[in-house]
Chains A and B, each alone.
Chain A
Amino acid sequence: MENIQTSRRDFLKTTGLTSFGLALGISAFSKDAVVKKLNPAILKLEINPFIIIDTAGNITIVNPRPDMGQGSTQAVPSLLAEELEVRLDQVKIIQSDGKDKYGSQTSGGSSSVRSLWEPIRKAGAAAKEMLTESAAKRWNVPVAECFAKDGTIVHKPSGKSLTYGELADDASKLEIPKNPKLKDPKDFKILGKYNKRLDVPERVTGKAVYGIDVDIPGMVYASILHSPAIHGKIISIDDTETKKVKGVLKVVKTERTMPHRTSEAVAVIGTNYWAALKGRKALQVKWDNADYEKTLSTEKYFAETYEAAKKQGINYEEKGDFDAKYSSAVKKLESHYETPFLAHAPIEPENAVVHVKDDGTIEIWAPVQGPDWALRDVCAYMKVAPEKVKINVTLLGGAFGRKAYHDFLLEACHLSKELKKPVKVVWTREDDISQGPYRPGMLSHMQGFVQDGKIAGYHHHAIGESILGQVFKGLKPDEADPWLSEEISTSNNKYIFDVASKISYTHVKTDIPIVWWRSVYASNFGWGQECFIDELAHLAEKDPVKARLEIIKDERFRKVLETLAEKAAWGEKLAEGQGKGIAVFKSFDSISATCVTVTKKGNGVKIDKVISIIDCGYYVNPDNVKAQTEGNIVMGITAATKDGITFTNGVCDQSNFHQYNIMRLNEMPEIEIHIVDSGSSPGGVGEPGLPPIAPALGNAIFAATGKRMRKLPFDINNLNG
């Protein structure tokens, strides 16, 4: 009991709460969101329940989704505030630390609102009912005469009220309602409404704390030289010049651990980051890259994918006998669509502060997308139990998938253990761009045919490296990668091909490290799928919108396409040299469609306008849905028209933003975003806007110039290049 009391006091102190009142947890592993009361006796040493209403009326929620710019710091408290009948500014949030009891905690797969929509609202509703019942008991009046408002329970007939704080202790003694009544969406005051994000002010004053901003007393800085060929071996290290740099403390041989292998590296430790970096630049390291000069090559990789396209892949689904129907078809087409490897390049480079303490415990401050996964990886790597690790998740200066890959964090763990000091590792932009992991480059081999003026046959053969295979559990030789196959399947794209269709996959391996990137494979395969449907529409001599509507029955898809056609004034006369293209793609349970308008300019085109439509079901904040979709337009255009990542003779050809360009403000076209309110269960918002961007642009270019782009990226100013 003693322990519990002390740790309770510590917890209360750090969170600024006065005393426990009502604490509710959501059973992390149950699908149907069981709300549980957290009784202090079961709150072990570290007390971090999900929702706490203390006796002073402070309301705190643990946010299980780190914020990397997608808006979870607003979305999570909004779900609670809506049902609890409090204002957004009444809810304080604490970031979860990765421990099991919080369940899944990774910001990824556009999952935050999708997965928390029910459970958090349920906990909020349960708390509200318990508080209401407590008030009714106190006043000895029927519950029906009481209602909740802004953190108080009001007795309607008399007008008297009690605050949540005054009721919290009483409420904690009640049974949790099994089926708390959730609000009817038409009564929502916060969800689905415009609300300013409350943490914007700290992001415009320099006060927001990102991983890179963390300083710990006694901390040293590390800059790490990695093998230019990623997996190369060290032959020799000459640190004579490095040691002359003022502020350099030490040079240590270290390692970079990736899911698929561990590579050698050399760390320069300094009293400040600049010294460490300067020392690192002065290092003379000889690498044995012999094994990788031939294998780490994007040219070789793509050559293999085109070879694979000549053969049969592994079927994921097939309807009709596609090959037979295709070979006898009269009006048919075959094309190859290629997408490059891409770096995530979040503007905050990878970084972490780790302190491996004398007592064997480890404290971490890092911008990680998933504290739960980070914890798992750190425990496995350091061979420690989760209780010994404390992860403080900071804000993330962008991530896009990169910061769910913990090589940089494990580097800091390794160094801190070695040096017995807190260590801050900061990657340079060059590390970020030239070391990976990357979105894998992929090839879409497309075949299709037209019958009776209608698109009737379709085959998408996806070819390339598998994230599941390289980063996760591996892929069997006879397995069509289920993650990527699902994204291009007809159950996802909802196209109905009357005669025959086939989705197949061929695994082409590479040692280039890969991981998911914003919208994952949808960012690759939206390109092949939607440009090829456009090609087939032209083969059928049909308008691309009409041709799609002919083969889609799904109401939500139709509505999205029709809304797009209307907003884009599809079919209206275009100016000389102008062309419009559309594309639609469903990912993370949301459907997004885009229309791009371009005008011929010299050998290239200029993007005049981008209109995106998104149906993401219920959402928290329409402005955030728009913001994320805007971001997807920019990232989508960048991915299509700026630089890809290439490897030649084992080495990445790009190093910084002069070779890996990102769209700039002066290139920003006019944009317009519309949300279709379908009232469906919530879909993702952070990613689904991206996949249709590149194909809509490619289709617009075809409409304007007659030139069919099939390989990304291309130079928008010179399409012949």
Chain B
Amino acid sequence: MAIYNLTVNSKKVKVDVEDDMPLLWVVRDVVGLKGTKFGCGMALCGACTVHLDGQPARSCQTPISSVGKNAKITTIEGIGDVKLHAIQQAWIEEQVPQCGYCQSGQIMSAVALLKTNANPNDQDIDAAMSGNLCRCGTYDRIRKAIHRAAEAIKVEEKGIGKR
């Protein structure tokens, strides 16, 4: 067991866990944030996607010991906690979720995509989102929602620019 001082969703948390415990289980069962999901445990489905310093990471394959001391961990609970993120808003507009279980991971991947690419085309979306499985089959809506969110962000930024 070892003590880790983590920053999760901008909050400092101290955990005492085994070095090889994946970030997924640290976040879910130790920190108690259940929004990040377990789907495969092998980095194959993306349900467990979180951000490490803004980069999407599969938390089921990230041992806690590999998370840097100063790393900022962001989970779905840290996205749009004050105001819904444009991606979440678009997910509601397009009524993306069915069961919703995969959607935390989908949203984390999509938020990361828009951060680096404000205007993704379909190929960019393919590249960023194909690691996230959805057994309910919401892919068509996910694509539409990402385009919609990108548009919304552009409009919002223009508005701010004018002011």
Interface residues of chain A, those whose CB is within 8 Å of chain B, are 67-71, 196-197, 200-210, 212-213, 215, 221, 246-247, 272-275, 278, 345-349, 395-400, 426, 428-429, 623, 627-628, 630-635, 656-658, 662-666, 668, 671
How far apart sit A196 and B44, CA to CA, in the bound complex (Å)? 31
**Is B138's beta carbon under 8 Å from chain A?**
yes
Q: How far, in whole Å, are A277 and B133 apart by their CA atoms in the complex?
A: 23
B21-80: which residues lie under 8 A (CB-CB) from chain A? 21-22, 25, 29-30, 32-42, 44-45, 47, 75-77, 79-80
Question: Are A205 and B141 in touch, CB under 8 angstroms?
Answer: no
B77 contacts which chain A residues (CB < 8 A)? 205-206
- B residues sitting closer than 8 Å to A (CB atoms) are 1, 18, 20-22, 25, 29-30, 32-42, 44-45, 47, 75-77, 79-80, 84, 88, 91-92, 95-104, 107, 125-127, 129-143
A665 touches B125 (CB 8 A): yes
Q: What B residues does A634 contact at CB under 8 A?
A: 134, 136-137, 139
Nearest-neighbor residue (CB-CB) of A69 within chain B:
B99
Beyond the given A657-B133, A665-B132, please list 19 additional residue pairs across the A-B interface where CB-CB is below 8 A.
A67-B99, A69-B99, A200-B95, A201-B84, A204-B96, A204-B107, A209-B34, A246-B18, A275-B18, A345-B135, A347-B45, A347-B101, A347-B135, A395-B100, A398-B99, A398-B135, A429-B45, A663-B137, A664-B131
Question: In the complex, which residue of chain B has the Cβ closest to the Cβ of A397?
Answer: B101
Could you write out 12 A-B pairs with CB less than 8 Å apart?
A71-B98, A204-B88, A205-B35, A206-B77, A215-B32, A345-B135, A347-B102, A630-B137, A631-B98, A634-B134, A657-B133, A664-B130
Query: Are A210 and B101 interface neighbours, CB within 8 A?
Result: yes
Closest to A197 in B: B95
Pick from A204, A631, A656 the residue with the most CB of B within 10 Å: A204
B25 touches A665 (CB 8 A): no
Partner of A69, one of B47, B136, B141, B142: B136
CB–CB B142/A665 < 8 A: yes
Tell me the smallest distance from the CB of B136 to a CB of chain A, in Å. 5
B140, A397: Cβ atoms closer than 8 Å: no
Interface of A (DSSP majority class) = loop
**Contacts A347-B37, A397-B37, A671-B140 hold; do A658 and B42 have CB atoms under 8 A apart?**
yes
Given contacts A429-B41, A666-B126, contact A208 B137 (CB under 8 A): no
A11 CB to closest chain B CB (Å) equals 27
Chain A residues whose C-beta falls within 8 Å of the C-beta of B100 in the assembled complex: 69, 200, 202-204, 208, 395, 397
Complex CA–CA separation, A247 to B29 (angstroms): 13
B residues near A623, Cβ cutoff 8 Å = 95
Whether A662 contacts B135 in the complex (CB less than 8 A), given A204-B88, A428-B41, comes out as: yes
Chain B contacts for A206, CB-based, 8 A: 33-36, 75-77, 104
Given A68-B99, A429-B42, A666-B130, check contact A274 B135 (CB 8 Å).
no
Q: Which residues of A contact B107 (CB under 8 A)?
A: 204
Question: Would you give the shortest CB distance from B13 to chain A, in whole angstroms?
Answer: 16
Q: What's the Cα separation between A298 and B139 when bound, in Å?
A: 32
Q: In the bound complex, how far is the Cα of B137 from the Cα of A627, in angstroms?
A: 8
Measured between beta carbons, the chain A residues less than 8 angstroms from B130 are: 664-666
> Among the listed A273, A347, A664, which residue makes an inter-chain contact with B25, where contact means beta carbons less than 8 Å apart?
A273
One of A201, A273, A627, A665 near B126 (C-beta < 8 A): A665
* Contact call A349/B103, Cβ cutoff below 8 A: no
CA distance A668 to B129 in the complex (A): 12
Indicate if the CB atoms of A395 and B99 lie closer than 8 Å.
yes
Most chain B CB within a 10 A radius of its CB, from A202, A272, A400, A633: A272
On whether the beta carbons of B98 and A274 are closer than 8 Å, the reply is no
Q: A209 contacts which chain B residues (CB < 8 A)?
A: 34
- Complex CA gap A686/B136 in Å reads 10
Chain B residue with minimal CB distance to A689? Answer: B137
CA A71 – CA B136 in complex, angstroms?
12
User: Measured between alpha carbons, how far is A628 from B77 in the docked complex, in Å?
Assistant: 27
A212→B80 contact, CB < 8 A: no
Alpha-carbon gap, A721 to B130, bound state (A): 25
**Least CB separation from B42: chain A residue:** A656
With a cutoff of 8 Å between Cβ atoms, the chain A residues found around residue B95 in the complex are 196-197, 200, 623, 627
A342 to chain B, nearest CB (A): 12
User: When chains A and B are docked, how far (Å) is the Cα of A321 from the Cα of B130?
Assistant: 53
Judging by beta carbons under 8 Å apart, are A274 and B22 in contact? yes
Which has the most chain A C-beta neighbours within 10 Å: B22, B91, B133? B133
| Complex contact B139–A348 (CB within 8 A) | no
A196 to B135, CA, bound (A): 21
Complexed CA–CA distance, A451 and B134 (Å): 47
Q: Once the chains bind, are B42 and A657 in contact (CB under 8 Å)?
A: yes
How far, in Å, is B86 (CB) from chain A's closest CB? 12
Task: Point out the residues of chain A lying under 8 angstroms from B76, CB to CB.
Answer: 205-206
In the complex, what's the smallest C-beta–C-beta distance from A367 to chain B, in angstroms?
9
Give the CA-CA distance A589 to B75 in the complex, in Å.
Answer: 43
- A656 contacts across to B, CB distance below 8 A: 40-42, 44
Please name the residue on chain B nearest to A424 by beta carbon: B29
Select from chain A the residue with minimum beta-carbon distance to B18. A246
B1 to chain A, nearest CB (A): 6
Cβ of B39 and Cβ of A429 under 8 Å apart? yes
Find chain B residues with CB under 8 A from A666 CB. Answer: 126-127, 129-130
Interchain CB contact under 8 A, B18 and A200: no
Check B143 against A665 for contact (C-beta < 8 Å).
yes
Among A70, A215, A429, A668, the residue within 8 A (CB) of B98 is A70
Q: What residue in chain A is nearest B20 (Cβ atoms)?
A: A278
Chain A contacts of B103 at CB under 8 A? 203-204
By the criterion CB–CB under 8 Å, are B42 and A204 in contact?
A: no
Of the candidates B44, B99, B143, which one forms a contact with A348 in the assembled complex, judged by CB atoms under 8 Å apart?
A: B99
Closest B residue to A657 by beta carbon equals B44
> Are A631 and B137 within 8 A (Cβ)?
yes
Q: Is the CB of B136 within 8 A of A272?
A: no
B92 adjacent to A201 (CB under 8 Å): yes
Residue numbers in B under 8 Å from A196 (CB-CB):
92, 95
The 3 closest A-B pairs by CB, nearest first: A206-B35, A634-B137, A397-B101
Which chain B residues lie closer than 8 Å to A197 at the CB level? 95
Interface-central residue, B21, B40, B91, by most chain A CB under 10 Å:
B40
Q: Name which residue of chain B comes closest to A670, CB basis.
A: B140
CB of A631 within 8 A of CB of B42, answer no
Report whether B35 and A207 are in contact in the complex, using a CB–CB cutoff of 8 Å: yes
Residues on the A chain within 8 Å of B39, using CB: 347-349, 429
A9 to chain B, nearest CB (A): 31
Q: Which residue, A67, A208, A396, A397, has most C-beta atoms of chain B within 10 A? A: A397
A623 to B94 CA separation, bound complex (whole angstroms): 10
Chain B residues whose C-beta falls within 8 Å of the C-beta of A200 in the assembled complex = 91-92, 95-97, 100
A658 and B44 in contact, given A274-B22, A668-B143 (Cβ under 8 angstroms): yes
In the assembly, what is the distance between CA of A472 and CA of B131, in Å? Answer: 38
How far apart sit A632 and B135, CA to CA, in the bound complex (Å)? Answer: 10
Known A-B contacts A212-B37, A656-B40, A666-B130; A633 and B98 likewise in contact (beta carbons under 8 Å): no
The CA-CA distance from A203 to B37 in the complex, in Å, is: 12
**In the complex, are the beta carbons of B97 and A203 less than 8 A apart?**
yes
Chain B CB within 10 A, most for which of A398, A658, A671 = A398
A677 smallest CB distance to B (angstroms): 20
B82 nearest CB across to chain A (Å): 12
C-alpha spacing A201/B107, complex, angstroms: 12
Given contacts A630-B138, A631-B98, A665-B132, contact A205 B42 (CB under 8 A): no
CA distance A67 to B100 in the complex (A): 11
In the complex, the answer to whether B1 meets A246 with C-beta atoms within 8 Å is: yes
Q: How long is the Cα–Cα vector from A364 to B143 in the complex, in angstroms?
A: 38
Q: A347-B135, A658-B42, A668-B140 are in contact. Are A204 and B33 (CB under 8 A)?
A: no
Neighbouring B residues of A664 by C-beta, 8 Å: 130-131, 133, 139
* A-chain residues with CB within 8 Å of residue B79 when the two chains form the complex: 205
